[in-house]
Structure 1
Amino acid sequence: MARPRGKKRTAAEAAATDSSKPEAAAKEPAKRGRVKRVRAPPRPTEYFPEKRNLEDLWLSAFPIGTEWENIDKIKEFNWNFENLERALEEGGELYGKKVYLFGSTEPQLLYVNGERKIVLIPVIIAVDCPFPPSDKIGINSVQRENEEILPMKAMKMAWVPYVPLEDRLSRIDSLKTKIFTLGCTQRRSALKHLKTERVKKFDYCMPYYMPLQPIEDEDDTVINFLYPLEPPIVDDFDWEMDDYKDFADQKVQDDILPEDEKEKFKGFLKEMVRERKRELKQAKEARKKAIDDMDPKEKEAFENIKFYKFYPVKTADTPDVGDVKSKYINRYYRNAHYLM
């Protein structure tokens, strides 16, 4: 049987089909050509100043005695202690020596951008001694009735070895550092869980030091007191120069002390003086015992101990502290041998 042949298109159908092809082609969008990617200009290379080997040393020393809420104020300026770094590096006064560092702060009125402003100046005390100068902390203030001498660990403090930047990839146990800083492990975030009295103790802390030779201090006969009234009476009383009766009468005349409070006030002063005399006697006895029990090498070291007090150096972005420098450290260390 013959295979049927396909039906031929008529001329009209062929013309209609062919005429529709250009229209369809017109509707089809043209293919987009390949767009060349424009390369972004290369970023300029950023260069960061190389950190100095002891650049963060001063920050490692806890600023003892500074109120917790004020510690962040130290970082208001980019303080620079290159003088401390130079003293510890080759050719410096403290190079190769064993030193113990602690920090502190001194509020001073300085010029900042042409205006006078209270600035919290950080200072660093370097103790040149082959042994730790002390493992105790003194807690004292005008507001506190009695002085306390506590082990450092009671206030979560200790002498901590400092590792210079170039040695931080080395094994700690293989290092033989000669620089130690006073560290504090008390976390600020945990302060809210402590009693107010405990938190305030940190504000009144200062490194304790007992010199071998007693210091003949004119303040030995002076007591600082706070008498509980509203408002309280805060003053000094010298038991060699002041008379109890005259002192109380003057307070009444100045409308500071009520007349009916005078006898009680005199009794308060007498008890404060008795307590201070007991403290001085105990301190002398403790010093004598400590010296008698001291190892000869340790005794020799303390006879030659030296204190260096460092202030930040002047830079373009920090206030000038040159006019407010002082050798005074605290009531235990007294004055520095060298002011840097």
Structure 2
Amino acid sequence: MRGRKRAAPKKRAAEEEEKKREEEGGGCGGGSSSGGDSKSPEELKKESTTKGASRGKRVKAPPKPKQEPEFFREKRNLEDLWQAAFPVGTEWENMDKLQEINWNFSNLEDAFEEGGELYGKTVYLFGSTEPQLLVVNGEQKVILIPIVVAVVSPIPPSDKIGIKSVQRENEEIVPMKAMKMAWVPYVPLENRQSRVDRLKTQIFTLGCTQRRSALKHLKTERVKQYDYCLPYFQPLKADDDEEDTVVNIMFPLEPPVVCDFDWELDNLEDFTDELIKDEALPEDQKDAFKDYVKEQVRETKKTQKQAREARRKAIEDMDPKTKAAFENMRFYKFYPVQTLDTPDISSVKVPYINRYYGKAHVVM
């Protein structure tokens, strides 16, 4: 018992000594008992910083920026209607130019809304382009203006395509399917999740299934046919072109002699001498040129006579319903509406459609 009492003061002394070391900074959670190895608080802080740096400092990642909700403009129900109408007669290499300007055909869309010109009617649409010199961003440049022609009719206006240009001597009238074209039903955006066979559409567009990627496998003449295509229409009454007395001349020389000759107003002898005087025609080609013009006049007159006969026979063979449809057909020609993104086209709008359709009843 006495031995334990003598040990107590020693224990208390050791505890007091340890407490004293901690107060002086010599011990820090189990430091050395030797007074010579004790370190000051500044040295311990520096040592701790050095060790932390050797292990690599942990950098806190910056907070991610809060993403704003992304809003998409809701598309209009008939927004792509004008693009569904194939731009007949537009060169393939120029197709992409139609997307360079943000054209807007909201006037065409509005025409199908209640109260519009085309509301509740059966309509056939085809597209085309008209090159015009316009001011774009302060500079003048040739722009292809897309136009859409709407034919109001209970039946298709035609199932044929005309192929004609100044460069082509002969005019061809071929079935649409020969050029991979056909009237196809247009489905508005809001109905595209429905079964097409259950829809009762009243809008048809002239479509073309010829793939641009396959053009390189076609002959040049075949590709050029598409450049000269025109939607064909044979009205019940003769148009001005059918009785036209002017022929387009392209006499084959290098360069060719291109001009218009009116067989009622122009004297062929004087007309030819004038070309020679203007050095547009070599004098040694005078007789050959005159023969060429006479042949063109004969061919034009023959074509016009055939057209009159074809029209007369077509009218005779028509049933009353079809005849009534042709008599009541109306043509609407739509130009893009003016927006901040589009050039001013107000001065270049014309009612003329093409050599077959003539002029539109209404220009929009």
Do the structures match in fold with TM over 0.5?
Answer: yes
In structure 2, the CA distance between the partners of 1:61 and 1:218, relative to structure 1 (3 Å rule), is: closer
* Structure 1 unaligned residues grouped into runs of 5+: 1-17, 20-25
| 1:81-92 equivalences in 2 (<5 Å) | 81-92=105-116
Question: Given the superposition, is the C-alpha separation of residues 179 and 73 from structure 1 closer, same or farther in structure 2, using an over 3 Å criterion?
Answer: same
1:109–1:116 contact (8 Å) kept in structure 2: yes
Q: Paired residue for 1:231? A: 255
**Partner-residue secondary structure (3-state), 2:338:** coil
CA distance in 1, matches of 2:243, 2:257: 19
Tell me, yes or no, if structure 1 residue 144 matches structure 2 residue 168: yes
Structure 2: segments with no counterpart, 5+ residues? 1-32, 35-46
Partner deviation per Cα, 1:159-218 (whole Å, 9 max, x = no partner): 111000000000011011110111111111111111111111111101000010112448
- Indicate the residue corresponding to 1:119 in structure 2: 143
Alpha-carbon shift at residue 229 of structure 1 (Å): 0.6
Q: Is the 8 A contact 1:101 1:126 kept in 2?
A: yes
**What does 1:187-336 align with in structure 2 at a 5 Å threshold?**
187-217=211-241, 220-336=244-360
**Aligned residues of 2:241 and 2:355 also touching (Cα < 8 A):** no
Where 1:323 maps in the other structure, the secondary structure is: coil
**Root-mean-square deviation (CA), in Å?**
2.4
Cα pair distance change 1:217/1:150, threshold 3 Å: closer
TM-score (norm 1): 0.89
Change (3 A) 1:124 1:270: same
The offset of 1:219, in angstroms, is 6.1
**Does residue 1:99 correspond to 2:123, yes or no?**
yes
SS at match of 2:347: helix
Question: In structure 2, what is the Cα distance between the partners aligned to 1:315 and 1:212?
Answer: 39
User: What letter is aligned with 1:322?
Assistant: S
Q: Which residue of 1 aligns with 2:80?
A: 56
Displacement of 1:38: 5.1
Letter in 2 for 1:182: L
Distance in 2, matches of 1:38 and 1:251, equals: 82
Match of 1:159 among 157, 160, 183: 183
Deviations 1:15-68 (A, max 9, x none): xxx99xxxxxx9996689998765413200111110000000001111111111
Query: Deviation at 1:260?
Result: 1.9
Using structure 2 for the length normalisation, give the TM-score: 0.83
Between the aligned partners of 1:32 and 1:258, the Cα distance in structure 2 is: 93
Query: How far, CA to CA, are the matches of 2:350 and 2:217 in structure 1?
Result: 37
Q: How far did 1:114 drift?
A: 2.0
Tell me if structure 1 keeps the 8 A contact 2:180–2:210: yes
Greater Rg, structure 1 or structure 2?
Answer: 2
CA offsets per residue over residues 251-307 of structure 1, 9 Å max, x none?
222222222211111111111111111101100010011111112111101101000
Counterpart residue type for residue 272 of structure 1 = Q
In structure 2, the residue matched to 1:10 is none
CA contact (8 A) 1:143 1:225 kept: no
Q: Alignment length, in residue pairs?
A: 322
In structure 2, C-alpha distance between the alignment counterparts of 1:153 and 1:68, rounded to whole Å:
18
What is residue 14 of structure 1 aligned with on the other side?
none
Contact 1:145 1:225 in 2 (8 A): no
- Report the Cα distance in structure 1 between the residues aligned to 2:81 and 2:353, rounded to whole angstroms: 19
Q: Quote the offset at 1:115 in angstroms.
A: 2.1
* 2:100 paired residue number: 76
Question: Match of 2:66, as an amino acid?
Answer: P
